[in-house]
Amino acid sequence: MELVFLGTGAGMPSRRRNVTSIALNLLDETGGFWLFDCGEGTQQQILQSPIRLGRTDRIFITHLHGDHLYGLPGILTSRSYQGGEGTLTLYGPVGLRQFTETVLTLSQAKLSYELDIVEIVEEGIIAEDEMFRVEARRLNHRIESFGYRIVEKDKEGKLDAAKLKELGVPFGPLYGALKQGKSVTLEDGRVINSADVVGPAVPGRIVTVLGDTLKTDSAVELARNADVLVHEATFDRSKADMASRFHHSTTEDAAQTALQAGAQVLIMTHISSRYGEEETEMLQQEAREIFANAFVAEDFWSYRIPYRITME
Listed by start position, the domains of the chain span 2-155+201-304, 161-197
pTM, 2 dp: 0.89
Q: 234 near 19, Cβ under 8 Å?
A: no
Interatomic CA distance for residues 20 and 59, integer angstroms: 13
Interatomic CA distance for residues 107 and 93, integer angstroms: 23
- Bridging pattern class, strands 302-304 and 191-192: unpaired
The CATH T-level fold of domain 2-155+201-304 is: Metallo-beta-lactamase; Chain A (3.60.15)
Which among 57, 66, 55 has a CA at the least distance from the CA of 21?
66
The low-confidence residues of the chain, meaning pLDDT below 70, are: 310-312
Active site amino acids: 67
The pLDDT value recorded for residue 310 is 58
Which among 217, 234, 291 has a CA at the least distance from the CA of 268?
234
CA-CA-CA-CA torsion for 286, 276, 301, 100, nearest 10 degrees? Answer: 100
What residues are paired with 138 via a beta bridge?
146
In 3-state terms, what secondary structure has residue 18?
Answer: coil
Q: CB-side exposure of 154: number of CA atoms within 13 Å?
A: 9
Q: 60 near 35, Cβ under 8 Å?
A: yes
Q: In Å, how far are 32, 63, 118, 211, 302 from 88, measured between CA atoms?
A: 11, 19, 11, 21, 24
The pLDDT value recorded for residue 295 is 98
